[in-house]
Chain A
Amino acid sequence: MRYAIALPFLWLAVFFLLPFALVLAIALGTNAPDVAPPVELGFSLKNFALLFSDDLYVAAWLSSLRIAATSTLIALLLGYPMAYAIARARPERRPLLLMLVVLPFWTSFLIRIYAWMGLLAKNGLIDQFLRWSGIAENPGSILGTEWAVHLGIVYAYLPFMVLPLYATLEKLDTSLLEAAADLGARPLTAFLTITLPLSLPGIVAGCLLVFIPSIGEFVIPDLLGGTETLMIGKVLWDEFFTNADWPLASAVAICLLVLLVAPIALFQRQQARSLERRT
């Protein structure tokens, strides 16, 4: 048992904890383009000051939050009916229906986002369809707009929403709904007063599983978004790879972590609680 604890502990200390200490140290340093690696160690808070004073970074924070929150909400509205329908399907059909939800997750993330590039481009199939059906006269390219980013996030993370929702909805005691119906509640009332509150843990877990990764998302805004789509993951990437400003990129990383502390802590507490219930 000692080794079972020591091996992962040491590995994660060296390859996970220590690197974060380094990020913090570099974030306090200054950019030195003439030396390799391009960092001069020191203790200055000017990188952080810049992040909070420069409009570009503040806008990137806010729009990351907004895009992640909106996408999470759309994913919930799309995923809840799906999870509900799977949970109420005949038991022998459920494994197949669930597998169909999970399968896209096992294919390449990059490829799934790529699939939308052709669909959303100007003269792409969606553009052609909108024109043919007369919904829009000249829709042009959806690719490069924030809509495309929302769509990409919902598409990529929908399985993460459906699975926890299904897990709570499947366990729901249907006799409660029958009792409500016997007492004269209409289906909608029964849903709002019984099903919805009881599936709240699944809603929270699903929303966090979509919200947390989409905040720091890079691939989706880079491939589907336009130049005006600001997201913090993309800002970090550009600072690092395009501007080679390691200290500033490190400071962005620290801020991103701080922003995520609350949702991650909430998620961990919930995981621990649901695990306790099982054992």
Chain B
Amino acid sequence: MKFFNQNKILNLSFKSQKIILIFFLLILSIGLFEALVLSPEDYLQGDAVRIMYVHVPAAWMSLGIFSFIAFLSILVFIFKNKNFILIAKSIAPSGFIFNIIALVTGSIWGKPTWGTWWAWDARITSMLILALFYLMYLMAWRIFENKNYVLKVTSLIAIFGSINVPIVKFSVDWWSTLHQPASVNLISETTIHSSMLIPLCIMTAAFVLFSLLIFLMKYNTELIKIKNKGLDRL
């Protein structure tokens, strides 16, 4: 069974890459200008608050992408859909990078505000575990060469790791942690002033576009690899 016409997808994604790149650069520069120049400093943290405009979207992206990979992996595991596994494989690297960015920027923020680079609290530790799951996922793709085997191993790693995602999200509510609870809430009140929320949203949009761009590039590479092998699909 053939799911898509690959030549069509290749053409389409090559064209859309340029458009997305332009949009990404545009929104990133607006976001950075808002975040670094226009937005006010925080009453308590001062300029350290500006780290948040990178830290928070990066953390959101890493959690979102991992959930997406896990969702695709469940479908792959059950229905053996080989197109989904390629999507999951191609989106994983940007999720990992965002996870590392969240950890590093959090550490840089922690030193001037908390007074420490690192704390073994539930939020930070579970975020580190998420990074390790990303690492395992990406490494599994390189280690196992048997196609059927790599499919099972990677999707099981993603499904295992997805249990950690709600732990990351709710760790600040379930346990006392050094990390503060969420400021941006869909259900309860958002405790971040609108002058700071707007740049945060713009930066998030920029990060989404960046992930999309990297994803399309990776996905194209995978499709070309398959094409060169003379196969229809993985």
A binds B: no
Residue positions of B touching A, CB distance < 8 A? none
